[in-house]
Amino acid sequence: GILLWVSDEIAEAEATLQSAVKLAPTLAEPLVQLALFTAEENGEMDEAKDLTLRALALEPRHARALSLLQRLVEAEERLAAGQVDRPHSGEGPSCEPEDDSCAGW
């Protein structure tokens, strides 16, 4: 899914990431990857947060999930404070998916 995303094949990337979640329902990483995609590409912060929380329910110490949740909460707080903060979109991921600082928002 991530390789498709990087290649700008957005619809296929999303379908592949969703499929990975269904194929490996007990693994946190596919949920984290889908959450990152959902936040960055679709701008659906609430859904991304829900996916991240599902990942943390499976693996409470998952570093990337914890980092992503923190960034999602911070973005939510900035939006609530009236600061416009839009997710990255349209160009694939804003950085390497394995990078813990990965976020375009």
For the stretch 41-91, pLDDT in tens is: 888 999 999 999 999 999 999 999 999 999 999 998 988 888 765 555 444
Q: What is the pLDDT of residue 38?
A: 92
Give percent helix, percent strand, percent coil of the chain, each to the nearest 5. Answer: 65, 0, 35
The arithmetic mean of pLDDT across residues 24-41, rounded, is: 94
CA-to-CA dists, residue 37 to 17, 33, 83, angstroms: 9, 6, 22
- pLDDT band, very low/low/confident/very high, at 9 (cuts 50, 70, 90): low
